[in-house]
Amino acid sequence: MSDAVLFDARDDGIAVITLNRPETRNCLDQAMREGLRDAWNRFEYDPALRVAILTGSGDETFCAGGDLKEMVNTAMAAPPRDMFALPYDTVELSKPTIAAVNGVAYAGGWMIAQACDLCVASTTAKFAVTEVKVGRSSPWASPLIHMIPQRIMMEILLTGKPISSARAYEIGLVNRLAEPADLMATALDLATEILSGAPLSVKAARETVMLSTEMGRSAALKAARHVSEHCYNSDDAQEGPAAFAEKRRPQWMGR
Mean confidence (pLDDT) of the chain:
90
What local confidence, expressed as pLDDT, does residue 180 receive? Answer: 96
pLDDT tens for each residue of 192-216: 999 999 999 999 999 999 888 887 7
What local confidence, expressed as pLDDT, does residue 136 receive? Answer: 78
What local confidence, expressed as pLDDT, does residue 84 receive? Answer: 81
Of 86 and 156, more confident: 156
At residue 67, φ and ψ (nearest 5 deg) are -85, 100
Of 241 and 103, more confident: 103
Residues whose CB is less than 8 angstroms from the CB of residue 99 and which lie 6 or more positions away in sequence, other chains included: 53, 54, 55, 62, 105, 112, 113, 114, 116, 118, 119, 120
pLDDT tens for each residue of 32-75: 999 999 999 999 999 999 999 999 998 899 999 766 676 666 66
pLDDT tens for each residue of 88-143: 888 999 999 999 999 999 999 999 999 999 999 999 999 999 998 888 788 899 99
pLDDT tens for each residue of 65-78: 766 676 666 665 67
Task: Provide the sign of the torsion angle of the four alpha carbons 225, 228, 234, 239, taken in this order.
Answer: negative
What local confidence, expressed as pLDDT, does residue 252 receive? Answer: 87
What local confidence, expressed as pLDDT, does residue 80 receive? Answer: 67
What's the order of all strands across the beta sheet hosting 51-56? 5-9, 14-19, 51-56, 97-101, 118-122, 176-178
This prediction's pTM? 0.90
